[in-house]
Structure 1
Amino acid sequence: MSFIVYSLTTLAFTGLVPGRSYNAYVTAYSGINSQTSDIVTKRSYPTSVRDFSCFTYSSENVSCSWSLPDGVWSMLYLRVINSSNLMQAVSIFNDNFTVITMYSLNEIIMDPHGNGRTNLTFAMLGRLKPNTEYLVNITTYSGDLPSQTLQGKAQTDISAPPPVPETVNITTVQNQVTPSSLTISFSCSWFQNTNGDLKSYTVIVKQSEETSSESPEKRWPLSTYSEYANGSTNVYQVDDRVYPSECSNSNSVVSVKIGTGRTSGSFSDGPLKQNTAYRISFRVYTYLPNARSVRAGGVAIYTDTRFSLPLMTLVGGIGSSGSIVGPVVGGVLGALVIIVGGVLLYIRREQLNCFKRPDSTLQTSTRKWDDLPAIPSDMKKDVCDASYKAGNEYVIPDDSTYEDLDNCTPQVDHHSGIPSKTGEDDAKTEGSSDPTYLVPDNPYLIVK
């Protein structure tokens, strides 16, 4: 009797390509004899896709993208789930780039081939409910072997526009109107987010002096500034702007400038015409399609305000803006000050000339002692001018002062307050006819 003992041996293979099929067999050798076991075919597990993410595309679509998995794979399998319900299944096959989409109604759609691309790296998941959150699972298959499942999340857009605002009063911001621009007050309370988040807004400009109550044409997008500039329309859309972050508070008021010259894509916020009436409307979106959605036929969802009453730009030139008025007014006031100062200086000069002695005429003084102001009693020494000679010119003796004004008695003393005279000055004394020796206008000289 012989016994055959079998021992179980485990062998792990490493460094294999993910998802590839391998044949394995065992060969036993005994001397020169060998025996080969049966061939076993096995496949390594595939890897998951990389960089998987999903995002909102429209009110009925969610788009997902990824990077292709490493190794060998035969199919990518996407499942769209709302709560616990399977809404949609998408299979993307690697052999002939065919995409098969199966909806929950068991409807199968064959999408076109990959148009020469190595493999698809995105999928548009459609026929979904608006304003609904969906989970999207993606699994890589290589033959019958699945990879680890990855999960993304996205919510479809709302399909309803914002409620129509009840009361809107579009006005300009004070002192911020120029010949080429208007700054408008935009109130965040005009639009409510009850039908979905407010995604962005635009300004619609209409050159018109009408005062009728009307809304812009329900067309998206509207004409551009270039079409307005060449005269083909009087209504244009400035651009599509992100909804102002200041509107996190519904009571906020935001200043929006029109005519900045800013360019955004095919739209331009070009300068306005001076001294021209414009009417303004604000358009706010709950859904604004991106370029890919536009190519797929997506349209924007929005609500407009009625056009404002006509708002006028300024006339060019002085006074056209607050930045010009200030310097102009300041310059005018400065000129007036200079003119008035010059006139006062001229008058003062003429008054001073009246005290000068004419060259050939001797005048008799009309000033009387009684007309002179009273002399304080505590003044110890004063000068009395006894004569008014040579055309209203006072001549002061160089060798005496007068202490007693009642008698004008001369007192021998030197004038400590008057510079000493030279020999030439002695000739210019009382009775001198030299007109060059003039005394100060004040008839009194205070001396020590």
Structure 2
Amino acid sequence: RRYSITVVTEAGQLQNGRMIEAQTAPSAVSNITASSRSSSSLTLSWQQPEGDVDALLVTFSSNQTIIQETTLPRDAVSFSAHQLTPGSAYQVVVTSRSGGLTNQSEVTVRTAPTPASLLSLSPSSFGDLLLTWSPPAGRWEKYRLFLFDGAQQIVSTVLDRDALNFSFPGTSLTPGKQYRAVNPTAVHAARDDFLKVYWRHAAGDLDRYVVLIRYNHTILQNKSVSAGHNECAFSSLTPGRLYAVTVETWSGGDLLDGAGAVLVNRSVSAESRSERLEGLTSGRWYRVKVVTLSGGVPSLFATTAEGQTRPAASSSSLSCSWAPPFADFDSYQVECRRTDSGELTSVLKLASGVTAVTLDHLEAFRNYSVTVRVSSAGLMSLPATQTTVTLIDRPPIPPPSIRVGDKSSKVTSSSILFRFNCSWFSDTNGAIKYFAVIVAESDTNEFLQPEQRHPLPSYRDYITNSSIRAYQTDYFSSRCPQDADTSFGQVVEVNLGAGGDRLGGACDRYHDDDLYQRESYGRFCDGPLKAKTSYRLSIRAFTKLFESNREVSQPLFSDTYLSPPLRTHSEPLGGVVEGLSAGMFLIGMMVAVVSLLAYRQRLRKVAVQENPVVRMSMWKEVPASGMYVGVRSNRRITSPVKAGHFESHLNKLQADSNYLLSEEFEELKDVGRNQTMEVARLPENRGKNRYNNILPYDSTR
């Protein structure tokens, strides 16, 4: 199109201008296709160019010699050329003109060859069959001959273009039987949009053949052929065009990679409408075939689809691609900046043929802006900008000084109560989604991290297998605030070994004093720790663990360094040594009681004479979970002691190494035994009790 440009100069109220005219180059036609109805003609069609065009010029040339040249009106979208040489290749140029400027599109086309003529198949005196023919008009490269016994092909051969006859050996023929010889040039003469393919049978067992025909790496048609056949025909093709045909052996519903290797062969139900294929290689091209089966018999036709998996993503890089502009230009300029700070991270200058680039050395979970500009003769176009966020990565590893400490932990014989802070893990590589506690049985004090493996064994594995020295709890959601300033003081309290629901729940439950396994829980649970055993703890933080409600195979996590050894206490009267010691102590006490029985009775009589004592038996019934439990007491109820007699009374109680005083104190142990403690014994509250043998009453908790 021609444009007028005026430049005006001004001085005060006066103006003066100069005008110049210029014209842009016309656009070229696109999508040129060729078709043929005979071996000496071709019909071209194309898409009309955009913008203003004065006329179109179509030129046919062969071996750099112009054969035909025709001028067409600007709105023409097709052209037919006649009197061409069969089987010849032509270079076709469609030029669009506007003023003195031109633009052109080129394509190479070929006319279909003509068939051989005067075919004759006759027996010879030696028992052979002799095939003769006359050469076709135009150009051709070779002959391909076939000999058929009915529908079965028995001979297939290729001959040089100068051959005019061929003898089929009689050793492979049956005397007196009728045979059919085929020259593909003659067969295809009536339909030059038709292509027939033959092949030899493959060795081994197979279900069928799949034949695909491609043009410019695009699949145009695909057909399924039973295993007993070795030919296939394609129609509605463009005459003279070069196609690529692939014949594949096929069995079942397979996933094949680009090399044709079968990767997946599986069956799905008739109700299925989709199937997820996993474990593939990133960035690789795959082909999927789906075939229906009924009663174990597969269909002869299959549906084929092709696709490419996404390239491997990275938390430190971005892959960018774009479509080139519809204009002339020299190069691209690509810039990458941090969106929050505007910091320029990279600037690249790329050639005009490049339409994709990978930007490396970026930070994880950061927002970046990528700008692409086009450069032409030193001038830059307006920017095209896209903003995106890099993928998350595993959290930064906390320093060795940040770990579970022994001073802030409370240890019992079967549990460890400890705390950790949300600020231990930075969210620079992504928000922390889940936590888990790693428990290692160890008494060393080195700065070590847990085994970098996921998942680790469970508590059940640790208890049942003595070779396992470390296990993990269940995952629990992070409730840490996203704001770093707020999360600094956020403390998470964990009671390991108490069977809390946060760590997966108790592995065992108690009901009517009978122990049974809790099978309803998942693979991870929280059971009691071993007594008198050293444990080292670590916190595992996840930025990526679940995706689409399914646990990913390679989660992103980091661990704190293992804590100093935390040794659990011994159980009361637990173990063989403690049991023997307790037995010996009881035997000694029984002997002492028998030897001092008479002496104790005498002292009690004296005490009764000076301070009368009333002995009474109390029976009190209290309700407990719908039942009444009787609590019997035989505690002595004494009368008040006068102040003047208190010193002598105290001396009597302190006699014999405070025997009467200690006996009176021991009687106080039964006080409160008639009060219920049902709430503290509930499974959901067991982990909240500070001590296992000291429980709060229902009336005072």
Task: Compare CA radii of gyration and give the structure with the larger one.
Answer: 1
Q: Which has the higher strand share?
A: 2
- Pairwise TM-score range, normalised by the shorter structure: 0.3 to 0.5
TM-score scaled by length of structure 2: 0.25
